[in-house]
Amino acid sequence: MKLLRLPQKMQKRLSRTGSLKYRIINIKTAAIKPKASVLIIYSGGTIGMVRDSSGSLVALKFNQIMQQLPSLNTLNVSITVISFPIPMDSSNMNYQNWIDIGYIIYENYHHYDGFVVLQGTDTMAYSASALSYILEGLNKPVVFTGAQLPISAIRSDARPNLITAIEIASKKRGNRPVVPEVSIYFDYQLLRGNRTRKIRSSQFGAFESENHPMLAKIGINIEFNHSAIKKYEKNRQLAFHEKYEPNVVIMKLFPSITLSVIKSITNIEDLKGIVLETYGSGNAPTDDWFISQLKNAIDRGIIIFNVSQCSGGKVIHGRYATSKKLQEIGVISGWNITTEAAITKLMFVLGQETETEKIKERLSTPICGEMDVGL
Helices (H), the chain: 8-15, 62-66, 95-107, 124-134, 158-170, 259-266, 288-299, 321-329, 339-352, 356-364
Q: What is the dihedral of CA 182, 185, 190, 191, to 10 degrees?
A: -50
Per-residue pLDDT band at 72 (split at 50, 70, 90): confident
Q: What are phi and psi of 79, to 5 degrees?
A: -120, 135
Assess whether pLDDT exceeds 50 at residue 131: yes
Q: Which residues are catalytic?
A: 46
Q: Is 145 exposed, middle or buried (0-12, 13-18, 19+ CB in 10 A)?
A: buried
Higher pLDDT, 340 or 82: 340
Overall average pLDDT of the 27-39 stretch:
73
Overall average pLDDT of the 152-164 stretch:
82
Q: What is the dihedral of CA 339, 330, 284, 353, to 10 degrees?
A: 20
Per-residue pLDDT band at 31 (split at 50, 70, 90): low
Residue 354, classed as helix, strand or coil, is coil
pLDDT at 89: 84
Overall average pLDDT of the 194-212 stretch:
84
Calpha distance 26→4 (Å, rounded): 8
Higher pLDDT, 374 or 23: 374
Overall average pLDDT of the 237-249 stretch:
97
Calpha distance 285→257 (Å, rounded): 9
Assess whether pLDDT exceeds 60 at residue 9: no
pLDDT at 46: 73
Q: Do 364 and 333 form a contact (C-beta atoms < 8 A)?
A: yes
- Number of Cβ within a 10 Å radius of residue 353: 17
Q: Do 65 and 48 form a contact (C-beta atoms < 8 A)?
A: yes
Higher pLDDT, 298 or 3: 298
The percentage of residues in the chain with a pLDDT greater than 90, rounded to a whole number, is 66
Residue 139, classed as helix, strand or coil, is coil
pLDDT at 64: 60
* Lowest-confidence region among 11-25, 27-41, 79-93: 11-25
The percentage of residues in the chain with a pLDDT greater than 70, rounded to a whole number, is 83
Q: Is 138 exposed, middle or buried (0-12, 13-18, 19+ CB in 10 A)?
A: buried
What domains can be seen in the chain, in order of their start residue? 2-240 (3.40.50.1170), 248-364 (3.40.50.40)
Concatenated DSSP letters of 224-269: E-GGGSPPP-TTPPPEE-------EEEEE--TT--HHHHHHHHT-T
pLDDT at 140: 98
pLDDT tens digits for range 302-337: 999 999 999 888 999 988 888 999 999 999 999 999
> Helices 356-364 & 339-352, crossing angle to 10 degrees?
150
Per-residue pLDDT band at 199 (split at 50, 70, 90): confident
pLDDT at 206: 74
Mean pLDDT, all residues of the chain: 87
Assess whether pLDDT exceeds 70 at residue 21: no
* Lowest-confidence region among 79-83, 134-138, 229-233: 79-83
Q: Do 186 and 207 form a contact (C-beta atoms < 8 A)?
A: yes
pLDDT at 3: 36
Q: What are phi and psi of 117, to 5 degrees?
A: -110, 125
Residue 27, classed as helix, strand or coil, is strand
Q: Is 40 exposed, middle or buried (0-12, 13-18, 19+ CB in 10 A)?
A: buried
pLDDT at 328: 96
Assess whether pLDDT exceeds 50 at residue 47: yes
Calpha distance 139→141 (Å, rounded): 7
Overall average pLDDT of the 9-19 stretch:
50
Residue 213: C-alpha distances to residues 89, 133, 217, 291 (Å): 29, 20, 10, 36
Q: Is 29 exposed, middle or buried (0-12, 13-18, 19+ CB in 10 A)?
A: middle
